[in-house]
Amino acid sequence: MTENDDRIRTTHIGSLPRPPELLDLLTRRQDGETVDTDEWDSTVADATRDVVARQAEVGIDVANNGEQSRVSFNWYVADRLSGIEGKREQELWADLQEFPDYAEETFKTDVIDLSMHPIVTGPIEYTGQDEAEAELAGFRDALAATDADFEGTFVTSASPSVVTATHVNDYYDSYEEFLFAAADAMSEEYELVAETGMTLQIDAPELLTVGQTAAYAGESLEDIKGATRLHVEALNEALSNVPAEQVRLHTCWGSYEGPHHLDTDLVEMLPEIYEADITGLSIEQANPRHQHEYRAFAEHPVPDGWTLIPGVVDVKTNIIDHPETIADRLERVADEVDDATPLVAAPDCGFGTQAGLGMVSPEIAWAKLEALVEGAEIATERIDG
């Protein structure tokens, strides 16, 4: 993980805006159309190279490939796991069910419909080695082509429990069997990423959103915590061959503009999340529902040796966060954590977690990242001063 010896560095959470030509190809692939392989490869390569260059241009310190070739942060795994066939409509998050008109008009796009979940109809095994290796090679090629000089690089991968939370189980006898099968399968992807020497980012929003799912909506806080403990146990099993020093984890309350009035409190969930075998933790702090929760880090201190990656830029609004506001968010987190805990500034979530469902206009997203870099510089000066 990045050391915080002289300044607050910057990163982001994975997905970045995709160009229109790539969104068109993703749409056609989702619709079952045959897409010319050469056209796909060249479009993805161009998009990856451009997004890497743009990160260097705005001054991001720890960069990735922007997830350009993925239809979403979670459902890309349907192309890398066996046993998945067809889709079935599922209920959206519990908070949205109280506002159905809003949900209907907001969460269905030309590329992806968030109410339609892939169905697991057979044993889950990892079959995506070629696709994963191609994505990693494409990122390395983009880094070489742009001659970008980042302080670090990372690659995102779906957690076992986000796989099980967003796929319908029609095969396994129990949820636990389903979860640990997903963990066994995804471990292969984690190890592929680790072998490159890059940081592995585990995307695990369900560690905080489990109470919003159909299975746990309305359940007690203790039951919700129990589910999170089980999810962390499965993740740790999947990471058993990956050094903790190479792993950071992103969790959140869902990267969607919704009411969020049923979200769990961070102070209740941090002790469960701290059991993960990681050394970097990314959590929302710009989300207006949770901006007060920086205090949770004082009540439950970040484990020794971990880097905290607070989200200090909102990804759900086209208002460009003022650099001074970003610095304020960083400074109040810094006041609550031990002086030895490194901070890396980031947005709350990705800017394109679901292709075609970008709540922030692409150019505004990049302007927000520019503000992030400036805000981190201001915060560094304030804290060091």
pLDDT in tens, 156-214: 999 999 999 999 999 999 999 999 999 999 999 999 999 999 999 999 999 998 877 76
Phi and psi at residue 69, in whole multiples of 5°? -85, 0
Mean pLDDT of 107-128: 81
Mean pLDDT of the chain: 92
Binning pLDDT at 50, 70 and 90, where does residue 234 land? very high
CA atoms of 13 and 340, how far apart (whole Å)? 23
Binning pLDDT at 50, 70 and 90, where does residue 75 land? confident
Mean pLDDT of 226-232: 96
Residues 32-71: tens digit of each pLDDT: 889 999 999 999 999 999 999 999 999 999 999 999 999 8
Binning pLDDT at 50, 70 and 90, where does residue 105 land? low
User: Which one has a higher pLDDT value, 28 or 298?
Assistant: 298
Tokens 């095994």 appear where? 125
User: Which one has a higher pLDDT value, 314 or 107?
Assistant: 314
CA atoms of 250 and 309, how far apart (whole Å)? 9
Is the alpha carbon torsion for 320, 64, 307, 292 positive or negative?
A: positive
Q: Are 280 and 319 a contacting pair, CB within 8 Å?
A: no
Q: What percent of the chain has pLDDT over 90?
A: 77
Mean pLDDT of 340-362: 89
pLDDT of residue 111: 57
Phi and psi at residue 356, in whole multiples of 5°? 90, -5
Domain residue extents for the chain? 9-384
Mean pLDDT of 121-143: 97
Q: Could you tell me which of 80, 83, 77, 102 has the C-alpha nearest to residue 92?
A: 102
Mean pLDDT of 312-332: 97
- Strands, sheet with 84-89, edge to edge from the N-terminal-most edge strand: 84-89, 116-120, 168-169
Model confidence at 327: pLDDT above 90: yes
The pTM of this model reads 0.94
Residues 241-255: tens digit of each pLDDT: 999 999 999 999 887
pLDDT of residue 359: 81
CA atoms of 251 and 201, how far apart (whole Å)? 10
pLDDT of residue 94: 76
Mean pLDDT of 116-124: 93
CA atoms of 161 and 206, how far apart (whole Å)? 7
- What CATH architecture does domain 9-384 belong to? Alpha-Beta Barrel (3.20)
pLDDT of residue 108: 57
Binning pLDDT at 50, 70 and 90, where does residue 101 land? confident
Binning pLDDT at 50, 70 and 90, where does residue 112 land? low
pLDDT of residue 2: 41
Chain-centre distance of CA 345, in angstroms? Answer: 15
Residues 79-97: tens digit of each pLDDT: 999 999 998 887 776 777 7
Ranking 103-117, 272-286, 289-303, 366-380 by mean pLDDT, the lowest is 103-117
Binning pLDDT at 50, 70 and 90, where does residue 348 land? very high
pLDDT of residue 369: 98
Tokens read off for 53: 């260059």
Residues 261-309: tens digit of each pLDDT: 888 999 999 999 999 999 999 999 999 999 999 999 999 999 999 999 9
